[in-house]
Amino acid sequence: MTDTAVPYLTAKHGIVGLDEWELVVGLEVHCELATNTKMFCSCANHFGDEPNTNICPVCLGLPGSLPVVNAEAVEFAIRIGRALNCDVHSSVFARKNYFYPDMPKDYQVSQYDQPISADGWLDLADGSRVGITRAHMEEDTGKNTHAGAGGRIHGADYSLIDYNRAGVPLVEIVSEPDIRSPEQARIYVAELRTILLAIEASDAKMEEGSMRVDANVSMRRLGEDVFGTRCEVKNLNSIRSLGRAIEYEARRQVDLITSGERIVQQTRHWDEEAGRTRDGRSKEEAEDYRYFQEPDLMPIEPGQAWIDRVDAAMPKLPAARRQAMAAVAGVEPTRTAVVVAVDRQLDELGIAAIAAGGDPSRVLTHIEHNLAVEGAGALSPIHVAELTQMEVKGELTATQAKTVLAEMLTTGIAPAAIAAAKGFETMDTGALEAMVDEVIAGHPAEWADFVAIVAAGDDKKAKKLTGFFTGKIMQTSKGQADGKAVNALLAAKLNAGG
Amino acid sequence: MSAIELARSIRAGERSAREVVDGYLATIAEREPSIHAFNVVTAEQARVAADAVDARVAAGDDPGPLAGVPIALKDNLCTQGIPTTCSSKILEGWRPPYDATVVTKLAAAGAVSVGKTNLDEFAMGSSTENSAFGPTRNPHDLERVPGGSSGGSAAAVAAGFAPLSLGSDTGGSIRQPASLCGVVGVKPTYGLVSRYGLVAFASSLDQIGPFATNVADAALLLEVIAGHDPLDSTSIPGPVPSYSQVLSDGVDGLRVGIITELMGEGIAPDVRRRVEEAAEHLAQNGATVGEASVPAAMFGLSAYYLIAPAEASSNLARYDGVRYGLRVDGATTAEMMENTRTEGFGIEVKRRIMLGTYALSAGYYEAFYGKAQKVRTLIVRDFAAAYEKFDVLLSPTAPTTAFRFGEKAEDPLSMYLSDVCTIPTNLAGQPAMSVPFGVGDDGMPVGVQVLAPALGEVPMFRAAAVLEAGAPS
């Protein structure tokens, strides 16, 4: 839930103080597939079990063991490819060779020059489009825990390895370097996460590591067409750290360039506590992965029928849902309320409520501000429509509507019945005016101040006193007064008094 | 006595499996010290297995086609709870928690494993001199090598330690030692026998196959171990034909081609003569014999020594001291891995890991590995052309008879040339077998190689059976 709670800022929003520069970001997102079993064996794919309980000769890479491809993993990989508008074609596995203790075979079975999906795109909530270079299948590694030395490998007393994760199926989604701001990177990841959940391919939890993001960051002066040298930032554990890390890295690189130094292409690690990136591998350890086709596996040829079946079963994805919601409400799909509606899975409710005669603007307002709660999707769209109709007719104030809505959520009762039970009726103007006069009479000193301040044109103090009087009147009316009407009456009285 | 006759008599209750295995174990106890065919003799487990076979016979059950037949297993086949070393120090102390598919199939067929046989470390070699536990000697002449890498399995059958054994063949590692030890050795079509549980050397070339004293036993053993295995993605689906049933079909009308490229320079004249005699014998039995050309076969050796080491460099990466086998400590993880591998691997294994690592390196991939794969495609194409005209092909199995210890050990290139006749079939994924056909000028056995197209085991065995019948004594 915290992962999606990002501000929906525009992609054009750059970095303060770096107006002369253009940020260029490409993201590599690893997501663990929500299969029952691992990529190449029948061990359970389950997070959080006792270490080294979901293991067998295959995922331990024991001598003589051989991999067999999990068809469910291929299904999910195809879903991801199609959801990202990629071409899905026949593909081969390749070995990526490097030594690391958490990797049982000291090579990772991945895909290299023939990935299962390539050449797609992702349309974001801010209206921008990010190209998808490829989305390929591979196996996850085990997990190291270093004892002592603050959990770092250097200086650790000993290290423990849990191979439960070794062989868990992954899809790595590589974007084009189309991202131009930290905010755009964040909404890209949020969008991707929503899609992965919608197609049930991954549970996409950054905090559990089932979704991991690496950012390739480079900077160039505005107007330049060649890319700068990039650095790959790893260890990003949340969407928030992604944004922070990109901004830090952007500033670091600009500082280096402007002080006449060169950017060295390297892997850097985000240090969340220190709020900075750190040098990762040194140059002499630069890896040559010696990719070659995995001889233990046959090429994967999904065939058009399988792809067609995936397409037919594809749920409506966020971009299309935003379009539909926006069209019904008569607003732009980039409107925050529309984005929030889709993000909270309340777009269907919104569309149905509007179709049932609800006021589009009020429906969207409720979704954006009053329905960030569990179970909101279960509301009757007809009741929501009725609620907004009552507001339009002046039968409920905005405050009363909010109270009624809260009650609708817990009881499922129609809004008219709730309003009646609570005695909500909009006060007639005469009664309200009498109440306003009563409050003014009860606070003569404050009123005199108010009149003087308004006359002097001190907006700040005027606002404060408006709040004071509105509050008192609302209190007296027990919330039944319409805020707008109160403001109008106060303004009229001020004019008369002044 | 043949494995077939042994199994028949044990199933018929004419003799007990226990009595048979005890007989073989006695032979092992007598001659093994001078031959060193085994890394481990599992006498106790063998007796238990034999007793179980006898119990089944007594109960009226059928223990299977290999009931009570002793068999020796190359020590790169995983055996649950029994050390599997690949004749390498690096696997010191490792006992696999699982059986290779072929081991499971053998047990189900009633076979009784008597031990794990010596090999060139990780199957890399042609003389079994590269074993970390010392060489195996050729039972025909203890001063000579048995060939390799499955030298222990070939010697075990030749010495009468078991009527059957299993080896693995990546570039000739079954056929060449079979030839040098005077036994039958079969490299099946790639994918016919499951590789699950075979410790990988070069995955796209490795294939498990039988050794036997005669063609019929080899055919039966292949029938037992062949067939689709869902645990091996490269295993071929579909039923396995009976090879035993075609052995009496003869070669009348069979088209046999002698590979001219493998009959020239580098092949000893006495070996060449035996191949020519073999062809004549087939012709006398009704085959039509002609000259076949597989031009790209000449580049097989070069392509092989790029592809096999490349795959090996990756397959052998896992021996890093982290999870099993030898660990030599170091100040850092990387240092520990380096120390372990430095101490655990022998010189030939290191040489091939370096060759393979280089061949796959950025900037060299296309010139080496990429080009070798193209040669492989050419070899497949040339074989396909030859098999349009011929049903089977004929060549020497090895360029010479068994050589003496140390003769080639210091010269890797001349050692590599031992496999010049056998390598092309591995690159093409096709079957081939070595059939003993007389002796050379030195009195040592000569093997003739019968090659066939993919899944052409049936014509291959037909020709082999006729050759066997006509082999000079």
Write down the ipTM of this complex: 0.96
Binary contact (B200, A63; C-beta < 8 A): yes
State the best of B231, B324, B361 to mutate against chain A, taking most chain A CBs within 10 Å. B231
| pLDDT above 50: residue A283 | no
| Known active-site residue B16 | no
Contact A65/B at CB under 8 A? yes
Does an H or E element contain A222, and which? none
- A1 has pLDDT over 60: no
Cβ contact, residue pair A288, B362, below 8 Å: yes
| Residues near B349 by beta carbon (within 8 Å), at least 6 away in sequence | B88, B121, B122, B124, B130, B312, B316
Quote the tokens at residue B139: 């039972």
Residue in the structure block whose two tokens are 């009195």: B443
In this structure, how many other beta carbons lie within 10 angstroms of the beta carbon of residue A25?
26
Spatial distance between the Cα atoms of B97 and B88, rounded to a whole number of angstroms:
19
Q: What is the pTM of this model?
A: 0.89
Instruction: Determine the distance in angstroms separating the CA of B300 from the nearest CA of chain A, rounded to an integer.
Output: 19
Taking contacts as CB-CB distances below 8 angstroms, the residues of chain B near A101 are: 320, 322, 333
Measured N-to-C along each axis, helices A347-355 and A336-343 cross at an angle, to the nearest 10 degrees, of 120
pLDDT at A11 > cutoff 50: no
**pLDDT single digits (tens) A430-469:** 778 888 888 898 999 988 888 888 888 888 888 888 889 8
**Chain B: closest CA distance from residue A71 (Å):** 13
Nearest to B337 among A64, A99, A296 (CB): A99
**pLDDT band at residue A476 using 50, 70 and 90 as cut-offs:** confident
> pLDDT category, A6, cuts 50, 70, 90?
very low
Whether residue A424 has pLDDT greater than 60:
yes
Average pLDDT of chain A is 90
Per-residue pLDDT, B458: 98
pLDDT per residue as tens digits for the range A46-70:
999 999 999 999 999 999 999 999 9
pLDDT tens digits for range A143-202: 988 887 676 767 778 889 999 999 999 999 999 999 999 999 999 999 999 999 999 999
Q: Which of A60, A290, A294, A301 is the best substitution to test chain B (most B C-beta atoms within 10 A)?
A: A290
- A chain contacts of residue B197, beta-carbon cutoff 8 Å: 64-65
User: Residue A297: its chain B contacts at CB < 8 A?
Assistant: 233-234
**Type of residue numbered A259:** S
Q: Kindly state whether A281 is in contact with chain B, defined as any CB-CB distance less than 8 angstroms.
A: no
How many C-beta atoms lie closer than 10 Å to residue A243's C-beta?
A: 22
* Nearest residue, CB atoms, B199 vs list A64, A68, A290: A64
B369: which chain A residues are within 8 Å (Cβ-Cβ)?
292
With CA atoms as reference, the chain B residue closest to A291 would be: B360
Does residue B74 carry a catalytic annotation? Answer: yes
Q: Which run of H or of E encompasses B429?
A: none
> In Å, how far is B401's CA from the nearest CA of chain A?
32
- Nearest Cβ partner for A295 among B94, B311, B324: B311
Within 81-120 of A, beta carbons closer than 8 Å to B belong to 95, 97, 99, 101, 104-107
Determine the Cα–Cα distance for residues B463 and B282; give it in Å rounded to an integer: 7
The count of C-alpha atoms lying within 13 angstroms of the C-alpha of B296, restricted to the half-sphere facing its C-beta, is: 21
Of the candidates A240, A175, A217, the one whose C-alpha atom is nearest the C-alpha of residue A18 is: A217
What tokens were used for B16?
């007990």
* Per annotation, catalytic residue among B74, B105, B116, B187: B74
Cβ distance of B361 and A295 shorter than 8 Å: no
Nearest residue on chain B to A105, judged by CA atoms? B318
Dmax over CA atoms of chain A, in Å, equals 94
The whole-angstrom separation of Cα A289 and Cα A96 is 5
Q: Which residues of B touch A (CB under 8 A)?
A: 76-78, 84, 86, 91, 94, 96-98, 100, 195-200, 202-204, 230-234, 310-311, 313-314, 317-318, 320, 322-324, 333-334, 337, 357, 360-362, 365, 369
The answer to whether the beta carbons of residues A409 and A377 sit under 8 Å apart is: no
Q: Kindly name the residue from B87, B126, B150, B173 that is annotated as catalytic.
A: B173
Residue B368 CA, chain-centre distance (Å), reads: 27
User: B362–A107: do the CB atoms touch at under 8 Å?
Assistant: no
Q: How many CB atoms lie within 10 A of CB A160?
A: 12
- A99–B334: do the CB atoms touch at under 8 Å? yes
Per the CB < 8 A criterion, the answer to whether A90 and A302 are in contact is yes
Residues recorded for chain B = 473
Query: Which chain A residues are within 8 Å of B357, Cβ to Cβ?
Result: 290
Residues of chain B with pLDDT under 70: none
Q: Are A21 and A221 in contact (CB under 8 A)?
A: yes
Q: Using only the alpha carbons of chain B, give its radius of gyration.
A: 21
Q: Which of B113, B149, B235, B395 is catalytic?
A: B149
pLDDT for the residue A281: 61
Measured on CA atoms in the order B334, B337, B338, B340, is the torsion positive or negative? positive
Q: Please indicate whether, in this complex, the C-beta atoms of A101 and B322 are within 8 angstroms of each other.
A: yes
Q: Do B320 and A68 touch (CB under 8 A)?
A: no
Contact B320 A95 (CB under 8 A): no
| Residue A66 contacts B, CB cutoff 8 Å | yes
The yes-or-no answer on residue B149 being catalytic is yes
Where would I find the beta strands (DSSP E) of B261-323?
288-292
Residue in chain B closest to A155 (alpha carbons) equals B332
What's the confidence (pLDDT) of residue A426?
63
**What tens digit of pLDDT does each residue of A97-142 get?**
999 999 999 999 999 999 999 999 999 999 999 999 999 999 999 9
Q: What is the pLDDT of residues A328-371, one digit of tens each?
A: 999 999 999 999 999 888 999 999 999 999 999 999 999 999 99
Q: Which runs of consecutive H residues, i.e. helices, occur in B86-244?
A: 101-108, 151-158, 175-181, 215-225
